[in-house]
Amino acid sequence: MAPKILTKGLKISMALRTRFAPSPTGFLHIGGARTALFCHLHARAHGGTTVLRIEDTDRQRSSQEAVDAILEGMRWMGLTPDEGPFFQSAHHARHLEEAHRLLAEGKAYRCICSVEELDAMREEQRNKGIKPRYDGRCRDRDPAALGSAPSVIRFKTPQTGEVAWDDMIQGTIRFDNNELDDLILVRSDHSPTYNLAVVVDDHDMGITLVLRGEDHISNTPRQIHLLEALGYQRPQYAHMPLLHGADGAKLSKRHGAVSVLHYRESGFLPAAVNNYLVRLGWSHGDQEIFTMQELESLFDVRRLGRSATIFNMEKLLWLNGQHIRAAKPDDLVSELSWHLNRLGLTNPGQERLRTIIPHFQERCKTMVEMSEKCRFLLIDTIHHYDEEGVRRHVSPDLHRPLESLCTKLEALDESTWDHPSIEHTFKSVLEEFQLKMGKLAQPVRLALTGTTTSPGIHETLLLLGRAKAVSRLKAGLIFFHNALRTQAN
């Protein structure tokens, strides 16, 4: 049971406990991740506890691979639960125990209807224009007369009246009980159904807030009846609007409903993904950019809008760029390391990455971009020069200035390899040969990086270090010389 806080005999509130309860039948996609995020944030902002429950009762469709992918996705997003993961399948006996208690108390019954009989019943209802539902024909059978016939256990759902709850997001929701039929609690193979397992587990884990997608709204009246029959306390419910694509359709793969780890591979930062998911339907003044710490103190599901939210990849990309820009270099080290590793580049270590990162933060919308842009700093030699760049920026009259720059840079002492000395040297070559900055900078950049884009040319030289810069300029001179000869022929 959840601990109760008692003050002078007055129960003021139950400590908030919320859970994320994914079924491990696939990866953690962006919609599921949003549920996990909201559970986490609401709990953090209200002094609550988060529980992770893996709902693996469907043994056919559940897999360890999916469990691992869910855990990894949550870890990446920074949503490590306070408790769990717990596995629902481990509570099998407890689910059955509660179903049998209901049976013994006359609140549930054995149903021996065969599949054929149920099909015929539904067919008849359809023909009469009635919504197909179980008609309760086994409710009043004498249990003693059933013998060992194969059976399921059904719940005696109240047949009159209504059930209602105050949803923290949707407002009051009501269902007429006559819309609900007697739901199966235990199948004929003795496996508990979703509704039974969820209700028993939520109770046993002391869950006080059930936060989930609005696709579960139709389960809630059934779960409320069930928990009342079992004598449990009712948790609060909050059903989140689902995500939709720009075309209004429910979010699917083509809209970006892919694994959150796919977002990692595409170079998104967890802070940006979290920020974006929260801003879909939640706001705090007109602030757009939130750190995780801010969200962990400000978020409240009660302030979520009710309408479906549109997932917009462009906006996410923009936000990612903003987060990259605003991040402390330290906070980008681990994500950049991960991407460098994927590119097969040798990681130069934390210290070096911390130095490199600030030179790229302004220029990148994704971490993939950053890893590609700083690649030239992490490889030994340039093997490929941008052909178009060489054609456009290299000409025979640049050979002597480049050579001169190379000699002058080489003459600098390692200890004076700093911004002012590099700038001074560069300037002296420009003056000596009466050249404009752009004319010399691009061929130098091509020699140093193989490309025509990099941080400022002085910065690029500085970052490379004297030895590497000079050897690349030398190699570039040879390459350009040969390229010009080939062009001439």
CB atoms within 10 A of CB 121: 16
The verdict on whether 253 is a catalytic residue reads: yes
Distance CA 155, CA 196 (A): 10
Residue 14 makes contact with ligand GLU by CB under 6 A? no
Residue 22 in the binding site for ligand GLU (CB under 6 A):
yes
Residue 42 within binding range of ligand GLU, rule CB under 6 A: no
234 binds ligand GLU (CB under 6 A): no
What's the CA angle centered on 252, arms 30 and 281, to 5 degrees?
A: 55
Say if residues 15 and 2 touch (Cβ distance below 8 Å): yes
Closer of 252 and 312 to ligand GLU (Cβ) = 252
Q: Is there binding between residue 23 and ligand GLU (CB under 6 A)?
A: yes
Largest CA distance in the chain: 109
Report the relative pairing of strands 236-240 and 10-14 from DSSP bridges: unpaired
CA–CA separation, 135 vs 144, rounded Å?
A: 21
Among 212, 323, 393, 445, binds ligand GLU (CB under 6 A): 212
- Sign of the dihedral defined by the CA atoms of residues 175, 180, 182, 187, in that order: negative
Q: Does 41 bind ligand GLU (CB under 6 A)?
A: no
Nearer to ligand GLU, 22 or 81 (CB): 22
Task: Specify whether the CB–CB gap between 342 and 262 falls below 8 A.
Answer: no
Q: Which of 14, 17, 18, 21 binds ligand GLU (CB under 6 A)?
A: 21
Does the footprint of ligand GLU cover residue 198 (CB under 6 A)?
A: yes
Neighbour-count burial of 276, counting CB atoms closer than 10 A to its CB (0-12 exposed, 13-18 middle, 19+ buried): buried
Among the candidate windows 15-23, 286-294, 336-344, 418-426, which touches ligand GLU by CB under 6 A? Answer: 15-23
Segment lying near ligand GLU (by CB under 6 A), choices 17-25, 68-76, 227-235, 309-317: 17-25
Please, where are the H alpha helices in 412-465? 419-433, 437-449, 457-464
Per CB under 6 A, does 98 bind ligand GLU?
A: no
Q: Pick between residue 182 and residue 201 the one whose CB is nearest to ligand GLU.
A: 201
By CB under 6 A, tell whether 69 contacts ligand GLU.
Answer: no
Is there binding between residue 63 and ligand GLU (CB under 6 A)?
Answer: no
Query: Distance between terminal CA atoms of the chain?
Result: 85
Cβ 260 to ligand GLU shortest distance, Å? 15
Kindly report the number of other CB atoms within 10 A of residue 167's CB atom: 19
The answer to the question of residue 244 lying near ligand GLU (CB under 6 A) is no
Q: How far is the CB of 106 from ligand GLU (least distance, A)?
A: 27
Task: By CB under 6 A, tell whether 335 contacts ligand GLU.
Answer: no
Does position 201 interact with ligand GLU (CB under 6 A)? The reply is no
User: Which residue in the set 55, 98, 167, 335 belongs to the binding site for ligand GLU (CB under 6 A)?
Assistant: 55
Q: How many residues at the interface with ligand GLU, by CB under 6 A?
A: 7
Q: Which of 137, 216, 234, 481 binds ligand GLU (CB under 6 A)?
A: 216
Residues near 467 by beta carbon (within 8 Å), at least 6 away in sequence: none
Q: Which residues contact 309 (CB under 8 A, 6 or more apart)?
A: 241, 242, 243, 244, 280, 281
Least distance CB 55 / ligand GLU (angstroms): 4
Contacts of residue 412, Cβ cutoff 8 Å, sequence gap at least 6: 421, 422, 425, 466
- Minimum distance between the CB of residue 270 and ligand GLU, rounded to whole angstroms? 21
For residue 159, how many other CB atoms are within 10 A of its CB? 12
Residue 138, classed as helix, strand or coil, is coil
Active-site residue, from 8, 128, 253, 436: 253
CB of residue 91 vs ligand GLU: minimum separation in angstroms?
14
Q: Is residue 370 within the footprint of ligand GLU (CB under 6 A)?
A: no
Is residue 182 involved in binding ligand GLU (CB under 6 A)?
no
Residues with Cβ within 8 Å of 104's Cβ and at least 6 positions away in sequence, in order, are: none
Active-site residue list: 253
Interface residues toward ligand GLU, by CB under 6 A: 21-23, 55, 198, 212, 216
